[in-house]
Amino acid sequence: MSTSKVATMHDAIAAIVRDGDTVAIEGFTHLISFSAGHEIIRQGRRDLVLARMTPDVIYDQMIAAGVARKLIFSWLGNPGVGGLNAIRRVTEGDHASLELEEYSHFGMVARYTAGAANLPFFPLRSYFETDLPVANPLIRPIESPYGDGTVYAVPPLKPDVTIVHAQRADANGDTQAWGLLGCQKEAAFAAERVIVVVEELVDEAVIRADPNRTIIPGLIVDAVVVEPWGAHPSYVQGAYDRDNRFYLDWDPISRDKAATDSWLAEWVHGLGGRAEYIEKLGSGRLAGLKPSAPAPSGSVDYGEYR
């Protein structure tokens, strides 16, 4: 309970992510662990099954780098910009080499929920009268035992590894996040192994002062990596904004395979880790991403009961 799980990103990925694993780096536009994705590229993992609701730029980069054989997802795009061009190169026409397993957003959330709850399936009202169950035979109809119709079911998704980024955790991995929470809790409970990357390592007392704010208990966490700015170019509520310029710049880069490869060479393979990445980005770039003003939540009282 009091043993520290704090590790470097290098050591955490080396010990926890294996070739062929199903890996979920979750976080819906918010708290995306680009840092973990880059380290997986750097360490040359292969044949990964990548799961994520919105593959986003990080999976475009990982797939461009050749770490994955399959993608499980619900929305494939560069949010607010356009397509994911590296992924399109391996999914369109006769070159289609990346295996796809496709759901809707609620279907992906329901899959993680079933995985976390050890359920053999999860029911939802989506998919009826659509072509999705044809495209993905794992989406199956199920009769209500109360004689009131049919709904669809999705199977549990239990990643070998789930990686989430959060504002803070203690050394045991007890993790707190605020802002958009996406499906990180469900994806973490569904996973065999969990890596938490945080902006700030805090004392256990900070976590225990607000137990309702905890989204993941250390009980299911294998490693805690402390990396400020580890979610750049995505954002961290209260810490930094999305670096939209990065998302815009990625579009032309990713359209050209050579440009993509040289970006990976310069920004991933050419760097030792997130510290060097941040230094290379430059303090000016980062300063422009800070919130314009603080917006404190205020404090509530749990009371001492002796």
Partner 1 sequence: MSDETAAFSKSEMMIVAAARELAGQRVCFVGVGLPNIAVNLAKRTVAPDLELVYEAGVFGARPARLPLSIGDPTIVTGATAAVSMFELFAFYLQGGLIDVGFLGAAQIDRFGNINTTVIGDYAHPTTRLPGSGGACEIAINARQIFVIMRQSKRSFVEKIDFRTSPGNLGGAANAERIRREQGWLGRGPTVVVTDLGIYHFDDSGEMRLDSLHPGATLQAARDTIGWPLHVSPDLAETPEPTTAELDLMRLELDPGGLFTR
Give the footprint of a copy of itself on this chain (CB under 8 A): 118-125, 140-142, 144-146, 148-149, 151, 153, 155, 167, 178-179, 181, 206, 209-210, 212-213, 237-239, 241, 291-306
By beta-carbon proximity to a copy of itself, the closer residue of 105 and 255 is 105
CA distance 187 to 161: 9
Supply the minimum distance, in Å, between the C-beta of residue 194 and partner 1: 12
By beta-carbon proximity to a copy of itself, the closer residue of 197 and 239 is 239
Supply the minimum distance, in Å, between the C-beta of residue 181 and a copy of itself: 7
By beta-carbon proximity to a copy of itself, the closer residue of 36 and 166 is 166
Record the tokens describing residue 22, joined without a space: 């199903």
Supply the minimum distance, in Å, between the C-beta of residue 10 and partner 1: 28
Q: Which amino acid is residue 270, in one-letter code? A: G
Q: In the set 15, 180, 259, 265, which binds partner 1 (CB under 8 A)?
A: 180
Burial class (CB in 10 A: 0-12, 13-18, 19+), 84: buried
Supply the minimum distance, in Å, between the C-beta of residue 54 and a copy of itself: 20
Please choose which of partner 1, a copy of itself, none residue 123 contacts, taking the beta carbon within 5 to 8 angstroms, the exact cut-off set by kind.
a copy of itself
Bridge-based pairing of strands 68-73 and 48-51 is: parallel
The answer to whether the bond into 233 is cis (omega within 30° of 0) is yes
50-109: contacts with partner 1 (CB under 8 A): 53-54, 73-77, 79-81, 83, 87-88, 91-94, 96, 102-107, 109
237-266: contacts with partner 1 (CB under 8 A): 237-238, 241-242, 244, 247
Select from 184, 218, 180 the least CA-distant residue to 201. 218
Q: Does 218 bind partner 1 (CB under 8 A)?
A: yes
Please choose which of partner 1, a copy of itself, none residue 214 contacts, taking the beta carbon within 5 to 8 angstroms, the exact cut-off set by kind.
partner 1
**Residues 6+ positions from 277 with CB-CB distance below 8 Å:** 35, 38, 232, 267, 271
How far CA 159 is from CA of 5, 22, 186, 230, 286, in Å, comes to 20, 5, 11, 22, 33
Select from 248, 250, 244 the least CA-distant residue to 267. 250
**Contact (CB, 8 A) for 66 and 40:** no
By beta-carbon proximity to a copy of itself, the closer residue of 96 and 142 is 142
